[in-house]
Structure 1
């Protein structure tokens, strides 16, 4: 789940004097604050979930590849979203989480014929840690627009991780259906969060630089 930190972000790109583009960190920060970036992360979660539910009888090899690609792509989205944090110290947890996603994706792709237990362990840990970090961010950021949506998305991630880690799976089909269902739920939660963030951006534009959101 991608959650931008702080109040409604700036809507225009940052530029250096003379029209030159700002440094890469500023560019990534601007991109990470965009509601379309959150929507892109939601799509990256929804698509594999739908594919898994549509073709539940595919082999464990296919499931591991789909999950691995999902984790890698989500890691990229989280890496960029980490730069949306206003304080450099707040970026570290997001960057560490992005690394966790990427490493988990590599593990899934490196050995796609691994056991069902190993695959569920990887995914469950990633979802649990991700949900807890997102929940912490949403609670700590009191000026975060639509905190309720962010908290709800975090709770879904935590529940997904707990369920996948706690329940034993005797067949690839059972694991496939459960993972697909959770991916769809997580994706839908991020879609809601993306449009809530867009609404916050529009209100910030209407309020102006000195509006209630306090953006400058």
Structure 2
């Protein structure tokens, strides 16, 4: 790796990067920030919602145990995606998203710890996560004036709020009913999130940002 052009002429070996010196390690926070701002990462988060939603719709006759595991894995995956996305935001905008990420992880752990939850408990966990996540996303979109594709993000947030209210307000009488209800909303949320990712990709291309530099302000 090349030495810094600003080094002093009389610097000793300990102050220079020699040919045999190991390359400096990249800052993990910077790596996470680049990943969190990438449109590919946003698309991955969309697929994390879309895939279980499709599975739930094409396989509605799942047992309560399988449903609990499916919801738990989904919430954990979404929590990880949101946690990484936190690093792509300004420091002042990180706290709300971090709260949502922790909430998703906690909900996933609760579902996986005891997959044989009652239908009411599973509905409560998913509905609460969607409602809080939608409210936080809507608040962020309103507060961030220069957010790219702000209207699309607000629409996704509103969809999440509606999904949370519907799941909380409409009690499911069977695992089959809950599976179809969750599958429908997961597909809708996944498609909406995929639209945000593709819109962000389009914005990056118009700005001439491609390849490894295809990152920017988090949407």
Q: Which has the larger Rg?
A: 2
Is the CA contact 2:93–2:140 (under 8 Å) kept in the aligned structure 1?
no
1:38 and 1:71 mapped to 2: Cα distance?
Answer: 16
2:29 and 2:163 mapped to 1: Cα distance?
Answer: 32
Alignment partner of 1:93 is 2:108: no
Alignment partner of 1:81 is 2:85: yes
Alignment partner of 1:202 is 2:205: yes
Is the CA contact 2:100–2:133 (under 8 Å) kept in the aligned structure 1?
yes
- The gaps in structure 2 that reach 5 residues or longer are 5-16, 18-22, 210-215
Q: Counterpart of 2:67?
A: 63
Aligned Cα root-mean-square deviation (Å): 1.7
Q: Counterpart of 1:23?
A: 27
Q: Counterpart of 1:107?
A: 110
Write the mapping of 1:122-141 to structure 2, written as runs, cut at 5 A: 122-141=125-144
Q: Counterpart of 2:168?
A: 165
Q: Counterpart of 1:38?
A: 42
- The C-alpha deviation readout for 1:150-208, integer Å capped at 9, x for no partner, is 011101100000000011111111111000000000000011000000011112227xx
Deviation at 1:21, TM superposition (A): 4.7
1:138 and 1:109 mapped to 2: Cα distance?
Answer: 32
Q: Counterpart of 1:12?
A: none
1:95 and 1:171 mapped to 2: Cα distance?
Answer: 33
2:28 and 2:40 mapped to 1: Cα distance?
Answer: 19
Deviation at 1:139, TM superposition (A): 1.2
- The gaps in structure 1 that reach 5 residues or longer are 1-16, 207-212
2:58 and 2:65 mapped to 1: Cα distance?
Answer: 16
Q: Number of matched residues?
A: 191
1:146 and 1:99 mapped to 2: Cα distance?
Answer: 26
2:193 and 2:99 mapped to 1: Cα distance?
Answer: 20
2:145 and 2:26 mapped to 1: Cα distance?
Answer: 29
- Normalised to the residue count of structure 2, the TM-score between the two structures is 0.83
Deviation at 1:142, TM superposition (A): 1.2
- Normalised to the residue count of structure 1, the TM-score between the two structures is 0.84
Deviation at 1:96, TM superposition (A): 1.5
- The C-alpha deviation readout for 1:50-82, integer Å capped at 9, x for no partner, is 111111001111111001000001100000001
